[in-house]
Amino acid sequence: MTRERLERSIIRLMRITGILFFVLIVAFPFYWMIASSLRPLEEILMNPANLGLDFRKIDLSAYYNVLFDHGFVRYILNSLYVSIITVALSVALATVGGYAVTRLRFRGQSFMSYSILIIYMFPAIVLVIPLYVIFSHMGLRDSINVLILVYLAQTLPVALYMLRSYFKTLPLEMENAGLIDGCTRFGVIWRIIIPLSAPALASV
């Protein structure tokens, strides 16, 4: 074995060893959490430093208690409900709004185009008290649907900004061809803009 091949072998071995070392560092906390969750509470209290896992003594009561006794399933369903509706509304409104700001001509278009992200000039905590007062007067307090409005106010500006920038790169000739063929503005959005903007919509 030549010196060059020996050096390559040593470098390769050191690289593999380093990668495995960092993988173990990252994976160990997850292993510890899973192993601890599958052990009985008495065993954890008696021997908390035990790193092993006896498959004959696996205890799933912790998962049952979290999912059913503490209502965790309901929390998951609520999160899915809020997130799915928020994403759907954000994509739909940002698509229509981004197209309007990019292609249509109306008074205040330039100001609206450059002030989309103005809401991010203010910390989210600044909006807490005003939103609480507004929703209290509207009778929407303690409602899960209020979360959709709050998240929508945070996600819609950035989604609108991203789609506006992407719509500017689309060829205007294709939209004009659709209008000549008899499509309405919404028809152009549905038949031309949305298919061409699939990557941007997926990222939003």
pLDDT in tens, 163-200: 888 888 888 888 888 888 888 888 888 888 888 888 88
Give φ, ψ of 115 to 5 degrees.
Answer: -115, 20
% of the chain exceeding 70 in pLDDT = 98
- Residue 190 DSSP label: I
CA torsion 104-110-114-117 (nearest 10°) is -60
- Residue 154's pLDDT band, with cuts at 50, 70 and 90, is confident
Express each pLDDT in 73-118 by its tens digit: 888 999 999 999 999 999 999 999 888 888 877 777 777 777 777 7
Question: Where along the chain do its domains lie?
Answer: 3-69, 72-203
What DSSP assignment string belongs to 129-169? HHHHHHHHHTT-TT-HHHHHHHHHHHHHHHHHHHHHHHHTT
d(CA 68, CA 194): 42
d(CA 28, CA 20): 12
Give φ, ψ of 79 to 5 degrees.
Answer: -65, -40
Task: List b or e across 7-30, with b for residues whose CB sees 16 or more CB atoms inside 10 angstroms.
Answer: eeeeeeeeeeeeeeeeeeeeeeee
Domain 72-203 is found in CATH 3.30.70.141? no
Is the separation of the CB atoms in 161 and 200 below 8 Å? no
Is the separation of the CB atoms in 164 and 98 below 8 Å? yes
In three-state secondary structure terms, 171 is: coil
pTM exceeding 0.75 = no
d(CA 33, CA 51): 11
